[in-house]
Each structure stands twice: as C-alpha cells, then as structure tokens.
Amino acid sequence: MFFAPGIAKKMITLFFIKLIVGLVSVVGLSIIAEHVSPRVAGILVGFPTVTAISFFFFGYEISPEFASHSALYTMIGLVATQVFVYCYYKASLKFNVLLSSLVATIGYFISIWILHFVDLNKFTAIFISMISTLSFIYIFKSIQNVKIKDKVKLNHKIVFIRGICGASVLLLITGIAKIVGPTWSGLFSAFPTTLFPLMLIVHLTYDTEHVHTIIKNFPVGIFCSIFYALVVSITFPIVGIYWGTIISYAVATIYLITFQFIKRNYKGVLKNSIHP
C-alpha cells in the first residue's frame, strides 16, 4: 500500500514532532531531577507536555470533538496514573525495577478497565480526578524529599537512551488512537508516558528514595493536567485546536504559578496554623 506524497509528508512531519517532544520531555526532566531536585521534576512531570501533544494530534488527525471527548476520559484516566505510581512505590519497597514496573503496569490497566465503565460528564470527571489526586497527596505525605548528590556525567549515549525511552512510549500511545476510539484513547493518553521513563531513569541510575521523591510530588503537579484536560474538553469544539491549546496551557500554567506562590509565601503560616 502506497501513500500520496502529501499524506506521506504529513505523516513523517507528525512522527518527528512526536519524537522530538518525547525526547526533550524525558531528557529535560531527568536533568532537572539531577541538577535541581527530584521534587521539582516530580511536580513538573505533571505538566501537560506529552498529554497536550496527544490531544492536539487527536484533534488535528481525527477531529476536535474526538479530542474533547478523549480529554474527559483522560481526566479520570489520571486516577489510573496515580494508581500506577502508588503500585510502583509499594512494589519498589521490596522488589527490583522490573518487578515494580510490572506491578505498576498491571495496576494501571486494571484501573482503566474499571474506569471505562464510568458514565462520564464534565462534573463527574473533575470530581473523580480531584478526589483521587487529593487522596494520593495525603497518602504520599510521609515520603521524604531527597536530593541527588552524586550525579552521573551525561554523555551522548545516555541522552540518546533516555530520549528514545520517552519517545517510543509517546509514539505508541498516540498511534493507537484511531483504532481504539475516543474513550480508550483518552484513557490511554493518561498513561505516564513521561513519568514512567523518568522513574526508570532515576531508579536505575540512583537510589529508590530518589524515585520515591518524584512519586511523592507527582500528584501536586498532576492538577496541571487535570485543568488542561478540562479546558480542552470545553474549548476544542468551540474555538478549535490551536486556540484551545493556548487557553488550556494558560490555565495549567496559572495553576502552577499560583501553587508555587502560595507554597513560597504561606508555607510558614500554614505550618504554624497546624502546629501552634
């Protein structure tokens, strides 16, 4: 089977855009984890980079309505993402990276299978995702934030492996959207396509406590993706994928800036109010 030159060019262009986004996201966050802190990387990994690209291509390659519907299921799919990191956390206390990854993946797919039965609308999507995220923030609160002290020296081989790890997962998830439909594509879009490779990189390179720091802070950052997906579900059918993407990114960014502002300026006040 042969493609027309225009279609083939379009497919190649989209392939490389997806590839570059996946590569830059994973490599960039791994460097942030090493040179800033795993805590910051854990928050930022919740920012909708790969998810946003998935929504954009769903809207571009299929339709804005398809992307809008998928976004609702991505919101509750983020519950499964948090089940994934919880399962990885509990398994990694006893097992190695491979078994921890297997347990987490099984937990994720069981969760999305259950979630796909939910009769969804915007209210139930935001309610379920919010309650889940707040619950996991509470569950992970006892995990200690640990910085990476002895950093590995980056070289071209390490950067290449990290990039391919992230890009390959992104390409797989966005590639199956046309086959499985908007419900399942939305749920699959919540798969931790950036978080999982980041966790593997940090876990294999450093200590378990460093990957646990990422896990602890991930639910805080995932609110960015929740707000992003909600705004996508509203704006894509109305203003289109370009303006919808800009507005959705603006909302996610405002949340992140607001959270950091409150944390920086009111951390002491909140602590004193809890422990007088």
Nearest to 230 by CA among 132, 131, 125, 128: 125
Residue-wise pLDDT for 101-138, tens only, equals: 999 989 998 998 888 788 878 888 899 999 999 999 99
What is the four-CA torsion angle of 108, 109, 110, 113, rounded to 10 degrees? 120
DSSP string covering 69-88: HHHHHHHHHHHHHHHHHHHH
Q: Mean pLDDT across the chain, nearest whole number?
A: 80
Q: Which amino acid is residue 187, in one-letter code? A: L
What whole-number distance in Å separates Cα of residue 253 and Cα of residue 15?
Answer: 27
Mean pLDDT of 176-181: 60
pLDDT at 2 (0 to 100): 44
